[in-house]
Structure 1
Amino acid sequence: MLTATCTRTHVYVTFANPFLACDKCLRLVNAWHNDDRCGCVGPFWNEPCGCEKAGVTSVCPSWGPVDGCQCMRIFGSVEHARPEPPQ
């Protein structure tokens, strides 16, 4: 995902796992700003929460890149937050 501003094009890396939460604010995130690729001086941050230098943790214990969330099939229920639909 690229976002153009007046001075540069910002580079965001989108996560494949839609169940990732920011380690600082615990909100679901879908990407991080790659400051190395666009030349920004500041640190990287998560999108859309904007927390700087924060890691991410999956809230889905069964998510995989091939089958997605398997909580219903494996555990019989879904005990985690649902990802927000893309806008």
Structure 2
Amino acid sequence: MQQGEMPKILVVDDEPINVELLEAYLTGEYNILTAYNGEEALEKVKSEHPDLILLDIMMPGMDGYEICRILKNDSLTQFIPIVMVTALS
């Protein structure tokens, strides 16, 4: 992150309402990036280099655990902090 640049947060969730909610809370303080599935998330991580990832656990196809494993096993992305998010009660 460059001096004076807002930190980038990647929000990953298959439910648009959850993405919109997090985006509404965080916009203004952070540069928000969004992805709606695992493949899109991995592409955004490689192209945008976020400072933090908010990652839904339960998604169709590639779930949050699998995305986390892929990122943590890659030397280019292993140190990006990931916060696992879930709508489970």
TM-score strictly above 0.5: no
TM-score normalised by the chain length of structure 2: 0.27
Task: Report the structure number with the largest CA radius of gyration.
Answer: 1
Higher relative contact order (CA 8 A, sep 6+): 2
